[in-house]
Amino acid sequence: MLVNLNDVLLKARKEKYAVGLFNTIDTDMLEAAISAAEELLSPIIIGTAEVLLPYGELRLIAPSVIEAAKRACVPVAVHYDHGLTFERCMEALKLGFSSVMFDGSAGDYSKNITDTAEIVKIAHAFGATVEGEIGHVGEASAMDNDASDMYTKVSEAAEYLNATGVDALAVSIGTAHGAYKSKPKLDFNRLSEINDAVSVPLVLHGGSGLTDDDFRTSIKEGISKVNIFTDLCAAGTRAMKKGLESGLSYLDIRSLRVSEIKNEVMKKIRLFGSDGKA
């Protein structure tokens, strides 16, 4: 069934597990993610991100994701990840996404607040939820130096939340998007302080490549949603390589890819503790 973020995250926050957001660029990844959630009776969040649109057009991917969510026997939130512009967020809402992220975190703090608040007002009228970001989660490829000046400040998180009314908040505590060059070190004290200061579910971006312990501690200290994409691509790439080396046909390679991505999603669902929570 199609639900929004509040339907899956408020329970997760209370019971201290996390729900995964798995970004998909095509119906193969979509099938893999939904079937993993159904098999483990887990709520799930499926999305695509604005930076992924060159690989899967929003107006083409939206109807399949929404239809798959409606058909699923588990709760599925359909989330537009890292919306960078007002127009694209509105397009996602009009196409039926039950949730959008507006990410104004790279720009000016007060503009981030004004822009996010406007999108929250409209999204809520659609019955959709909004995730915002304060502090900034950058790209792993650019993380050579200490990025702690981009970390979420506890006081700003509370202020941002009150001023915007977002339903979930992405925090910057040391993770980054993409494949890490060296092992990230997460600021769990900061996470715990933010969790004490705000009343909405917190979101961890840049989840691919963290250790199992990193995830467990993050969830214990207040993370209720984890975004995963890079690890799914890695699983798919491994499957394609294996299929080619074994001389499999195009269709058999496709099946192998879906099944390997599904396994990766199932691994994450178990690790996040959302299995059996549908």
Question: Which one, of 186, 195, 135, 193, lies nearest residue 14 by Cα?
Answer: 195
The answer to whether residues 56 and 30 touch, using CB atoms and an 8 Å cutoff, is no
Q: Which stretch binds Zn ion (CB under 5 A): 23-31, 154-162, 205-213, 252-260?
A: 205-213
Cβ of residue 228: shortest distance to Zn ion, in angstroms?
10
In whole angstroms, the minimum distance from the beta carbon of 171 to Zn ion comes to: 11
* 79 binds Zn ion per the rule CB under 5 A: no
Q: Which is nearer to Zn ion, 231 or 275 (CB)?
A: 231
Stretch that binds Zn ion, among 71-79, 119-127, 199-207, 268-276 (CB under 5 A): 199-207
H or E stretch including 49?
Answer: strand 44-49
Query: Residue 205 CB, nearest distance to Zn ion (Å)?
Result: 3
Q: Stretches 37-45, 204-212, 250-258, 263-271: which one binds Zn ion (CB under 5 A)? A: 204-212
3-state secondary structure of 100: strand
CB of 207 to Zn ion, least distance (A): 9
Tokens of 9: 């995250």
Considering only the stretches 33-41, 144-152, 161-169, 202-210, report the one whose residues sit in contact with Zn ion under the rule CB under 5 A.
202-210
Determine the residue with CB nearest Zn ion.
205
Where would I find the beta strands (DSSP E) of 142-266?
168-171, 202-204, 223-228
Q: Which of 29, 13, 104 is nearest to 262 (CA)?
A: 29
- How big is the site for Zn ion, counted in residues (CB under 5 A)? 1
Instruction: Judge whether 187 counts as a catalytic residue.
Output: no
Restricting to residues 209-238, which ones interact with Zn ion according to CB under 5 A?
Answer: none
Catalytic residue among 7, 81, 108, 187: 81
CA angle 73, 74, 77 (to 5 degrees): 125
Residue 205 touches Zn ion, criterion: CB under 5 A: yes
Lookup: tokens for 55:
């690989």
Burial class (CB in 10 A: 0-12, 13-18, 19+), 190: buried
Binding residues vs Zn ion (CB under 5 A): 205
Active site residues: 81
